[in-house]
Structure 1
């Protein structure tokens, strides 16, 4: 397709060669991507007295005919035709010198065979053909599924993609499962990852990878598996030893489940909590010094949207007083004040426990002999030397 342009002199014929600078081959292939600009190269280099008169781009149709896209004349300027008007332009302001075609916003329908036709004087007509393949970058999505422990084998996530050529889907995960791929008539592909849900899988990676020749590396759709399960309850305490008179004592109930449990229910010996002990969420707070009668089984039940769990804590209380604590007991009896050690608290707790179980006896029993009415008040003091300050 090179040209020899010859000029006759008085004694010698001088010939110079003209031809295409690009594309170098008569037929070439090229790839592009939708929604991007596509450049189709075409540049003819003239030599000597040769001139490019007109440049025309065509697209070959399926029936063998040609669809005229754009043309440029060295005197009349350029013209765009039909559906290509406003969608294409020449790359250079002087298309006679550089005839490359720009498709401004490439569509899937632009795929096909293109011809760059160069008309020269006096050498004639020359062409270059370009077969254009248009790729559609994949549009992809991932649909996660919320699972519950104990369910049967089922789909945990679905990954979908559409593109041209058809994308390939795969999964990146450390979990064992089954993958099933399906292709629809509309040109989309779906991949299903199925497994048997266990609580140990909650939060594990289950990413979908979308592979396509138009992508330099696979597109990753990040995903974490969600497996809901009932809570497990545990009861802990910060006190290493519980003893009579212990202050600011607490039992703490924790529920490990998904979703995180929010409801806590406390019971003592299967019934109501002792007086002066209250539940604040997951904590059981002793709002007064610990009594010997507070011992026994404390149960905490935690609940989430999936189910419930419960645990029991057997509270043992040491009847021995802490060395730093003494109890000053004032007993009003014929005007006398008696100082007793803290061991008496154990006895008082037993009385309190017995009184709670047989309160009707105290309510119904009366005495008219005021000489034997006894009033008791317990005061905690940190130092035995302050006994002189005690009064009833």
Structure 2
């Protein structure tokens, strides 16, 4: 660290969807469909003076062995619809929706986000995701036509065209001819209050980092340990100059969990209990099957990893993000399990755990501040293990300590999401 002024921490809240983060067996777990759940989490985040609420989204329920994955049975309402309703019951909180750039069209998306930005008074954000998944593509006319190598090519032109529509709104016609889109038209709503809604991106590959440096305002990163966060922060920020951008024009916000206790020991014990609840035996089996590509329903999760090699491309599990080459992953996992003496379930707990801040409220506040002041992150997107009340304890016990340290706002000083993030309003191009 240097003698520079203290960096201000950015915080956002993630509403978990279909996943194994939420402990659905906990009596305090509520609905992920009912509007009251979304309203409660949004109200808590706004009470904590968070920058924004973040909704993920999937376009098809995952399948394991030809059946819908147990954790996906309920699904979740479409994100922009939910956020439009939340705009009416919040006043400052940013509203971030995940919308796929592969299976949507720029005009229609630009219109929807411009509408949300107007209805919320300038609080909309778009998390840009892509897909080369033929399984997901079966829900759409185009199917799974898009090669994996082309997904960021389409996304970059998609974002460019959406911004052209936002810039031309109320002033003229957009005429665009490119490799992916040939469009001529006018946006049917005025230019958004923020100029452009905030753009969020989550890709971690080299092409994803380059796409973010050229295009995004926020990165939803997975690099949440101190060393990994610093390396990622340095790499992405250095890329900005090539696009005429300054380092503070892109905020890096890893997704993290947290567990609090009155003592450090209590927090560690509670964290272990939560992780075992998150990874049930059935969840561990489903995760192993994603790598091994074979039916493991008879496998003992309290014993060692399967002794056979994975089967590439079996199609047993569909709709899950690829983790890489299954043979290489299995070899890495066996090495970790052998080194640490882990059973199959314990190994899944080890490799699927998102970096957590674990400790007393004061030590968690210190950990978060250390990461930000050390340039491992600009802030964090908090992922609670309970819906909808999981954020309450953090807001009540940790936020006041961050405010006491002078690194987090006590009141909102602006009304738009760009105000909260310290991002400039783009001029018309």
**TM above 0.5:** no
Structure number with larger C-alpha Rg: 1
Give the helix-richer structure, 1 or 2. Answer: 2
TM-score by length of 2: 0.15
Structure having the larger proportion of residues in strand: 1
